[in-house]
Amino acid sequence: MRSSRPGRARGRGTCDEPFRPTAGPPQAAGGAHRHLRARPRRSGPRRRARCRTLDLLGRASDSSLDKLGTPGAFYADPAVRIGLPLVGRGLGGGLGGTVLGLLDKGQQLGLTDNLIRKLNDAAGSAAHEAKPIFRTAISRLTLADVPDIATRHDGATQYLRTSAGGELSGKLRPLVDRGLTSVGALREIDRLVAKTPLLRSAGLSRDFVGRSVTEQALNGIFSYIGAEEGRLRDNPVGAAGGLLKGLLGN
C-alpha cells in the first residue's frame, strides 16, 4: 500500500486526486465487458499552484500545531500566551474600571497565575487535537488569488485566515471547551465569580472564557503558521522538498 506523505492536505481538487477511468476499446462481441484504462487528470498551472500551496499550508499548520500542542508551549511564549478575558470594558462609569482594576491587581499579586496557566494548558490541548480541522479547511480552499499568495511572505496563511477563519473558530471552540473542563479552568472561573459577584455582573462566565480562549488560541496558531510559512519560503528546496518551485517563481 502506498503511504501518503506527511503534511499533505487531502480533499477536493488536491494533488492526491485518483486517476480518472476512460473508455477503452468498444465492447467486444459475445458480451465481453469493455475495458477501462486509467489516465491522470491534466494538471494545468493553476492546479499545480493550488497543490503546492495546499502542501505548503499543510506542512506549516502541522508543524505549528505540533509546537503549540506541546505542554506548556502557549504559556512559555509571551507572544501567544493566553491572558485573562477582558471583561468590564462595556460597563459605564467607574464600574468597568473597577472590574479591570480587580483583575489587574489579581495578576500583579499572582492570585490568578494558576488560572492563567490552566487557560494556556487548555489552548495547548486544543492545538494538539486541531490538525484534522485545519487539514479539512485547507483542502477546501479554492485559491482564487494565487498571485497575491505567492508574493506575500505569509500570503497563504492570510488567505486561509480570511477564507476559513470563521469555520476554524467554530471547530476549535469545542476542543477549547473540552480542554478548559479537563484542566479545571472552568471550576476556577466558577470559584472566582462566586468570590467576586462584580465579575459576574461584568460578564465573566464559562461561555465568555471559552470564546476568549478560542480567539486568543486561534490568533496564536495563525501567528505560528505564518512564521512557519515564511521559513518554508526562505528555504523552498529544504524542508519543503522543492514544493514551492513554480508557485514562488523559482
Interstrand relation of 20-23 and 36-39 (parallel, antiparallel or unpaired)? antiparallel
The verdict on residue 39 lying in a domain is: no
CB atoms under 10 Å from CB of 39, counted, come to: 9
Residues contacting 218, CB < 8 A, separation 6+: 165, 168, 169, 172
Does residue 240 register a pLDDT over 70? Answer: no
The verdict on residue 91 lying in a domain is: yes
Domain count, the chain: 1
- Between 195 and 88, the higher pLDDT residue: 195
- Domain with 161 in it: 47-234
The verdict on residue 30 lying in a domain is: no
**What is the per-residue pLDDT across 167-225, written as a single tens digit (0 to 9) for each?**
999 999 999 999 999 999 999 889 888 887 777 777 778 998 899 999 999 999 999 99
**What is the per-residue pLDDT across 31-55, written as a single tens digit (0 to 9) for each?**
444 444 444 454 566 677 778 888 8
**Rounded to whole angstroms, how far apart are CA atoms 91 and 99?**
9
**Rounded to whole angstroms, how far apart are CA atoms 211 and 208?**
5
The C-alpha angle 162, 166, 167, rounded to 5 degrees, equals: 110
The verdict on residue 22 lying in a domain is: no
Is residue 55 within 8 A of residue 15, CB to CB? The reply is: yes
The verdict on residue 25 lying in a domain is: no
The verdict on residue 207 lying in a domain is: yes
**Rounded to whole angstroms, how far apart are CA atoms 42 and 176?**
42
User: What distance lies between CA 211 and its chain's CA centroid?
Assistant: 15
The verdict on residue 206 lying in a domain is: yes
The verdict on residue 94 lying in a domain is: yes
For residue 146, give the C-alpha cell.
494565487
Instruction: Provide φ and ψ at 40, rounded to 5°.
Output: -75, 155
| Residue type at 186 in one-letter notation | L
